[in-house]
Amino acid sequence: MNYVFQFQEVFAAWPELLRGAWLTISLSAGAMALGLVVAVFGALGKTMGPKPVRWLVDVYVEVIRNTPFLIQIFIIFFGLPRLGIQLSANQAALIAMVVNVGAYATEIVRAGIETIHKGQIEAGLALGLRPLQVFRHVVVFPALRTVYPALCSQFILLMLTSSVVSAISAEDLTGVANNIQSQTFRSFEIYLVVTALYLGLSLAFSAAFAGIWRVVFARQDRR
Amino acid sequence: MIRQFTTNEFLFILTAVRWTLLLSLIAFVGGGLAGLGVALARTSPRGWLRHLATGYIQVFQGTPLLMQLFLVFFGANILGSGIDPLLAAAIGLTLNAAAFLGEIWRGCIQAIPKGQWEAGTALGLGYWTRMRHVILPQAAKIAVAPTVGFLVLLVKSTSLASIIGFVELTRAGQIVNNATFKPFLVFGIVAAIYFAICWPLSLWSKRLEARFGVVAR
């Protein structure tokens, strides 16, 4: 092997990489936030809605979970303009990510809701707690506890999956890497650096999520 | 020139499924063998093996599969010879599957009650005998449901092979869409085919989980 690794061109492009990484983070965070809204409605529809609504939520969740994200993006990016909705690659990426993570999060939130038994609410009221206190201590907090770890791993999964949006030439971290690659032909070096960046991002986010868990939830345990 | 979407285009897409299935099969078998190694290393009594396996899993679960495929693909170019996209995809997906299956199976191995290990030791069984005759048969039972669940993820993951230029189901859909400009029809069909493969697996996994998955946690 007489290949000479050259990283200087890759490192020279750090402002672009930074911008790409920032888009990856903001796309993931935005999609997660909007996806959670979808998920709350989905989970409510699934647990309390009338039959047709429950059926619709089921179809949504199953279709999204059993088809590749790449195909979902293609349908949105190539399909929606046919309906007269013009989208930039980044917008299409965000929509696809919301639709995708919404389905997974629906299942997570539903599981969270189902951990709360009616009896617990009644018990809270019987103990003389006011309804708002019951809601806070008996419903929201335990449900969040159940849901939090799963949502955190879902977020990291989403961030890693989001590299696929580069396939429709969105300018996320991978998209930027593709651009640099086509200008410098330093394919291996650029993807090695970007892979390391992704790894750094996922480690940083898991550490941050674990920290939040310790502050918010673990303290509750000690009581 | 825009082509019509005819039976030919449909058949082109439909026959590309075999490449998706082949790739899934290769990655599943290869990833399964390597994954067993990862799971054993991850639960090994030797510290350095455990660390090695933990690092391996962390790297592959902490980076995008697409980057892993790119690194295999372009890494092979560096080594001199170019690489066939099928081979690159197969290697990348195998390495990836090994990490995921390794982590899933680690959980299954560790779910076996400690008493079983101790009983094995008390009977004077060595590590390998104990593993083979006591631990793994029980762990395998719990492992079936999540493994089938992972298969769904794997089949979907093979769609990324299209990005490094391997013509499987997704790439076939792209080729047809570029010629016919019927994105809803074309990708709808592609999605339906993936769904037809993945959904039965999902249902099966759920049924298995209901049967003997509860212990796995």
Write the ipTM: 0.91
Mind listing the pLDDT tens digit for each residue in A98-156? 999 999 999 999 988 888 888 888 898 899 998 888 888 888 788 888 899 999 999 99
For each of chain B's 217 residues, which pLDDT tens digit applies?
A: 678 888 889 999 999 999 999 999 999 999 999 999 999 999 999 999 999 999 999 999 999 999 999 999 999 888 877 789 999 999 999 999 999 999 999 999 999 998 998 898 899 898 899 999 999 999 999 999 999 999 999 999 999 999 999 999 999 999 999 999 999 999 999 999 999 999 999 999 999 988 875 544 4
B1 occurs within a structural domain: no
Residue B115 in domain: yes
| Count of CB atoms situated within 10 Å of the CB of A164 | 26
What is the sign of the dihedral through the CA atoms of B8, B11, B13 and B15? negative
Per-residue exposure over B128-160, b if at least 16 CB sit within 10 Å of its own CB, e if not: eebbeebbbebbebbbbbbbbbbbbbbbbbbbb
Instruction: Supply the range of the domain harboring residue B113.
Output: 7-216
Q: Is residue A1 assigned to a domain?
A: no
Of B156, B184, B188, the CB nearest to A68: B156
pTM: 0.91
The answer to whether the Cβ–Cβ distance between B162 and A199 falls below 8 Å is no
Phi-psi map region of B124: left, alpha, beta (phi>0 left; psi -120 to 50 alpha): left
Q: How many domains, chain A?
A: 1
Lookup: tokens for B152: 């769904």
**Confidence class for position A184, pLDDT limits 50, 70, 90:** confident
CB contact under 8 A, B195 and A63: yes
Percentage of residues of chain A with pLDDT beyond 90: 63
Do residues A51 and B160 make contact, with C-beta atoms less than 8 angstroms apart?
A: no
Let me know the angle formed at the C-alpha of A76 by A73 and A82, rounded to the nearest 5 degrees. Answer: 145
Residue B15 lies in a domain: yes
Letter string b/e over residues B22-41, b meaning 16 or more CB atoms within 10 A of that residue's CB: ebbebbbebbbebbeebbbb
| Residues B157/B93, Cβ–Cβ less than 8 Å | yes
The answer as to whether B2 is a domain residue is no
Contact A174 B177 (CB under 8 A): no
Lowest mean pLDDT among A1-15, A47-61, B64-78: A1-15
A109: in domain: yes
Domains: count for chain B = 1
Contact pairs from chain A to chain B, CB under 8 Å: 113
Q: Chain B contacts of A71, Cβ < 8 Å?
A: 159, 170, 173, 187, 190-191, 194
Q: What is the pLDDT of residue A185?
A: 83
**Does any domain span residue A189?**
yes
Task: Give B-chain residues touching A166 at CB under 8 angstroms.
Answer: 66
Domain extent at residue A103: 8-222
The C-alpha atoms of residue B121 and residue B115 are separated, in whole angstroms, by 10
Specify if A43 maps to a domain.
Answer: yes
**DSSP character string of B51-72:** HHHHHHHHHHHSS-HHHHHHHH
Q: Check residue A216 and give its pLDDT.
A: 85
DSSP label at A5?
P
Query: What was the pLDDT predicted at B82?
Result: 76
Question: Are B64 and A163 a contacting pair at CB < 8 A?
Answer: yes
> Which CATH number is B34's domain given?
1.10.3720.10
Q: Considering the domain boundaries, does residue A2 fall inside one?
A: no
Identify the pLDDT of residue A146.
Answer: 86
Q: Are B164 and B73 in contact (CB under 8 A)?
A: yes
CATH number for the domain that contains residue A182: 1.10.3720.10
